């Protein structure tokens, strides 16, 4: 059996703002942006299915999910607090030029928590998206 990851979920505070961040600041492309109807369990009035991904990975989609998608109000509010603290989601993006991408992304308005630094495995910089989710930008040696 062959299995591969195609989608992963990232909770965001505002889908419109997240769409702009991931497309305009990071350079990702929109893969899907549709409103799903209320017939989906837990969806209530429906929800927005918004996915983005890197241009050179057409088979990978990051779901930019509203914290309320499929959750009650109390859970939504708890998730929003965790998202804003940067405590809920993290990821890693591979690059072949960490220092160059750091400069390009910083010029695009990306907030970095850590400038590029040498690590035993390569060069790493850390940034946050506009919701508070953090990512490691990695250039590995080898």
Distance CA 66, CA 10 (A): 9
| Residue 50, pLDDT above cutoff 80 | yes
Contact by Cβ (8 Å): 48, 20: no
| Residue 90, pLDDT above cutoff 90 | no
Nearest C-alpha neighbor of 26 from the set 48, 5, 10? 10
Report the percent of the chain where pLDDT is more than 70: 94
The residue among 43 and 33 whose pLDDT is bigger is 33
Verdict on whether the full-model pTM lies above 0.95: no
| Residue 37, pLDDT above cutoff 80 | no
| Residue 134, pLDDT above cutoff 80 | yes
Name the range with the highest mean pLDDT among 3-7, 18-22, 73-77.
Answer: 18-22
* Confidence class for position 86, pLDDT limits 50, 70, 90: confident
DSSP letters spanning 10-69? EEES-HHHHHHIIIIIS--EEEEEEEEPTTSTT-TT-EEEEEEE-TT-TT-EEEEEETTT
């Amino acid at each position: 059996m062959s299995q591969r990851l195609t989608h992963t979920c990232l909770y965001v505070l505002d889908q419109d703002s997240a769409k702009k961040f991931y497309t305009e600041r990071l350079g990702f492309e929109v893969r899907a942006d549709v409103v799903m109807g209320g017939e989906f369990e837990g969806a209530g009035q429906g929800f927005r299915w918004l996915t983005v991904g890197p241009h050179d990975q057409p088979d990978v989609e990051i779901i930019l999910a509203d914290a309320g998608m499929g959750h009650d109000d109390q859970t939504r509010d708890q998730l929003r607090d965790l998202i804003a603290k940067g405590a809920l989601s993290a990821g890693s993006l591979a690059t072949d030029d960490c220092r160059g991408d750091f400069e390009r992304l910083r010029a695009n308005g990306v907030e970095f928590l850590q400038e590029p630094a040498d690590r035993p495995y390569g060069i790493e910089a850390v940034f946050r998206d506009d919701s508070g989710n953090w990512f490691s930008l990695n250039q590995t040696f080898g």
